[in-house]
Amino acid sequence: MSTATLDHPTETPHRRPRVLLVEDTESVRRAVALGLQASGFDVTAVADGAEALAVFAAVGPAVVVTDLSMPGMDGFELIRTLRVRQVGVPVLVVSARDSSQDRAAALAAGGDGYLVKPFGLAELRERVTALAENPPRRCGTLTA
């Protein structure tokens, strides 16, 4: 008889890791959601940052996958808002914006990874899996 261990609070022995997908382009949102679902993830897909914040608590994601360029609340603002609220869920940015400045800005805002569109499903799956299984640890300022 074996016992299951839980490495992440949003996982149970019979539940697939939850992903909150934030993408404004419907065709991309649908394709990425289907690909992640086929890879074993439970996906909730929304069109913008404000909608992501509205459903965040109910979804309880292990990972957030977000675009940067969206109407209303963009990906940068979404990430900053999550971090200000001290939400430690890992965030993977997927964006067509491929400059090193955009990548650095997304990571500085609190993103945990960056994937440039177009990307392959295998790489997306492995990055999301790595973040879900080994979420970055965040802590406050250390003082002596």
Average pLDDT for 26-34: 98
Domain coverage including residue 82:
18-133
On whether residue 8 sits in a domain, the answer given is no
pLDDT of residue 139: 53
> DSSP letter at 10?
T
Average pLDDT for 48-74: 97
Say how many residues make up the chain. Answer: 144
Give the angle subtended at the CA of 38 by the CAs of 124 and 128, to the nearest 5°.
25
Domain holding 68: CATH number? Answer: 3.40.50.2300
> DSSP letter at 48?
S
pLDDT of residue 10: 46
Residue 3 scores a pLDDT above 80:
no
On whether residue 123 sits in a domain, the answer given is yes
Cβ atoms of residues 71 and 48 within 8 Å: yes
